[in-house]
């Protein structure tokens, strides 16, 4: 009786590992697809013929794609948003690696 319980628990353990593996593959492929779609949207909409409608449609579509990402995995979504915030913060302060110059002339570092 104990042997059958052990084999059932080993089988359940293997099945659970296989399911977790396929979940991680699905999340990874979805994340890569979303990143590629965002890059494609940026290439298509942010051209030399820039208009406010291009900007609005880019923001709306990227927001939709990030919403899908949040449904798939909230932790990855939080980390991506944190990275975007850090990138924008560094861009606004005009900080480059090894060069700490403030965006506003005369502002203290």
pTM assigned to the model: 0.63
Q: Which residue has the tokens 């059932």?
A: 8
**pLDDT by residue (tens digit) across 25-55?**
998 888 889 889 888 888 888 777 778 888 8
Question: Which percentage of the chain shows pLDDT scores above 90?
Answer: 6
Is pLDDT of 90 > 60? yes
**3-34 core/surface letters (b: 16 or more CB in 10 A; e: else):** eeeeeeeeeeeeeeeeeeeeeeeeeeebbeeb
Helix (H, G, I), strand (E, B) or coil at 35: helix
């Amino acid at each position: 009786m104990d042997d059958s319980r052990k084999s059932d628990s080993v089988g359940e353990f293997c099945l659970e590992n296989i399911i977790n593996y396929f979940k991680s593959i699905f999340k990874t492929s979805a994340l890569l697809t979303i990143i590629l779609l965002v890059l494609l949207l940026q290439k298509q909409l942010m051209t030399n013929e820039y208009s406010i409608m291009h900007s609005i449609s880019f923001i709306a579509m990227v927001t939709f794609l990030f919403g899908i990402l949040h449904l798939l995995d909230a932790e990855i979504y939080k980390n991506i948003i944190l990275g975007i915030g850090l990138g924008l913060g560094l861009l606004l302060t005009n900080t480059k690696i090894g060069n700490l110059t403030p965006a506003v002339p005369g502002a203290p570092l």
